[in-house]
Amino acid sequence: MASEYSYSGSQKSRQSFEQLYGRYSRMLLAHCTKILCDDIEAEDALQETFIRVNRSLPMFVQKNGYRGWLLRIATNICINKLRAEKGKPVVLTEDVDWIADEIEDTVRVLAARQTLKKIMDLLNEREVIFVIKHFIIGIDQAELAQEYGITWRAVAKRLRRIRDRINHLCLENNQSI
């Protein structure tokens, strides 16, 4: 696999980049869409991901393959986008006729996005990352434990504390999530 995307020489580097894009762009777009709950923001995040990949590919040292590296870049970009949106009001910008045609889907998407924004506003940065990785991306507790060098039990406790914190902060702020 390493030779498949090796980055040496300008023509070969372009081909390597195009191969990475062709192989992973759909998966990364779905990943970004799942985190951001917005197709346009997800496309922007995908573009930013591949801009960073293009810059970093010559220095990439393959240990476990490209998938994890690309997912980590995309996840960090999505988290940064969520941080940048924190505190901004959700504004409905779609055409009224379009909303009338697909009101149920639109309401569900907007409600999910507003809920996610409320949760992000209530949590600290470390908690936001755990929420995204576990509840949105779907990384299981054992993988989180391995990634952070802690026990599975410690991950379970952190996730329980995060759920309790969300519930407490919602009650405290009279918000429903």
**Three-class secondary structure of residue 80 per DSSP:** helix
- Alpha-carbon distance values, 6 to 10, 48, 51, 69, 121 (Å): 11, 21, 17, 15, 41
Whether residues 79 and 36 share a domain: the answer is yes
Average pLDDT score over the chain? 76
* In the block, residue with structure tokens 């505190």: 87
CA gap 31, 26 in Å, rounded: 9
Count structural domains, the chain: 2
Q: Which residue, 50, 85, 120, sits at the end of a domain?
A: 85
Residue 86, both tokens? 């924190």
Confidence check: pLDDT of 92 > 80: no
Do 76 and 124 fall into the same domain? no
Residue 17 tokens read as 């980049």
Q: What is the pLDDT of residues 156-170, one digit of tens each?
A: 998 888 888 777 766
- Residues 34 and 80 grouped into a single domain: yes
Structure pTM? 0.51
Q: Which of 85, 107, 140 is the last residue of a domain?
A: 85
pLDDT of 1 strictly over 70 = no
**Domain coverage including residue 14:** 1-85
